[in-house]
Structure 1
Amino acid sequence: MLLSILNSIFCIAFILFAYVNLNDSDSWLWVPIYMIASVCCGLAVFNYFYPLVYLISISFYLIYALYLFFAKDGVRDWIVRYKRPTLVESMQATKPYIEKAREFFGLLIISGALAINYFIAIN
């Protein structure tokens, strides 16, 4: 029951995240990223689990997160060079590190949600 509620919340949240990315210049990348996670979580609500899809998706998301961590003005620069200023002052990414850091944490959230479903599926 708790897993169904959690997956429902993730499913709806990922649909909303995809929606707000529709007007971005890189929507071709981020809408599918969020929609794949949304579909996976939505199917899990009805006890349909796809461990191989989770592993492939998580692998892609974590590799991309690693890239965003070390990229110029990425998460590493946000921590070391910019001294971790807030990422949530406004919805506009006014500083060069904001978008990459937000994307990085989004990928970690997606990976966590899919990892939960993966471990449920294999047990």
Structure 2
Amino acid sequence: MLLIILNVIFCFSFIGFAYVNINDKDAYLWVTIYMVAAICCGLAAFKLYFPIIYLVAIVFYLAYAIKLFFAKDGVRDWMTKYKSESLVQSMQATKPYIEQAREFFGLLIISAALAINYFAA
């Protein structure tokens, strides 16, 4: 029962995250990323599991997260050069390292949600 509730929460959260990315310059990427996760979690709430899809998505999301971590003005720079400046200071990410750090953590959250479903399957 807890897994069903968790998947419903993740599903609606990821749909919301996709919605707020509609006006982004790279909406095609982020709406797709969040909607794939939302669909996977929504189906898992009905006990429909697709472990291969979870693995493929997790590999893609983690590879992209690694890219964001090491990119110029990426997460590593945010932690070292910019001293982990607050990610929630403004919803307008005017600094590239803030945007990339937010995207990085979003990818980790999605990967964790899909990993939970992978092991539940």
TM category (shorter chain) comes to over 0.9
The 2-side partners of 1:116 and 1:45 are apart by 12
The 2-side partners of 1:51 and 1:35 are apart by 17
- Structure 2: gaps (5+ residues): none
1:38 corresponds to? 38
- Structure 1: gaps (5+ residues): none
1:74-113 C-alpha deviation (Å, 9 max, x unpaired): 0000001001010001100022211000000000000000
Superposed counterparts of 1:1-123, under 5 Å: 1-121=1-121
Say which SS state the counterpart of residue 35 (structure 2) adopts: helix
C-alpha root-mean-square deviation of aligned residues, in Å?
A: 0.4
- TM-score, normalisation: structure 2: 0.99
- AA partner of residue 70 (structure 1): F
- TM-score, normalisation: structure 1: 0.97
Using the TM superposition, give the Cα deviation of residue 117 of structure 1 relative to its aligned residue in structure 2, in angstroms. Answer: 0.2
- AA partner of residue 49 (structure 1): Y
After TM superposition, the runs of 4+ consecutive aligned structure 1 residues lying more than 3 A away are: none
Aligned residues: 121
The 2-side partners of 1:34 and 1:72 are apart by 24
Identity %: 70
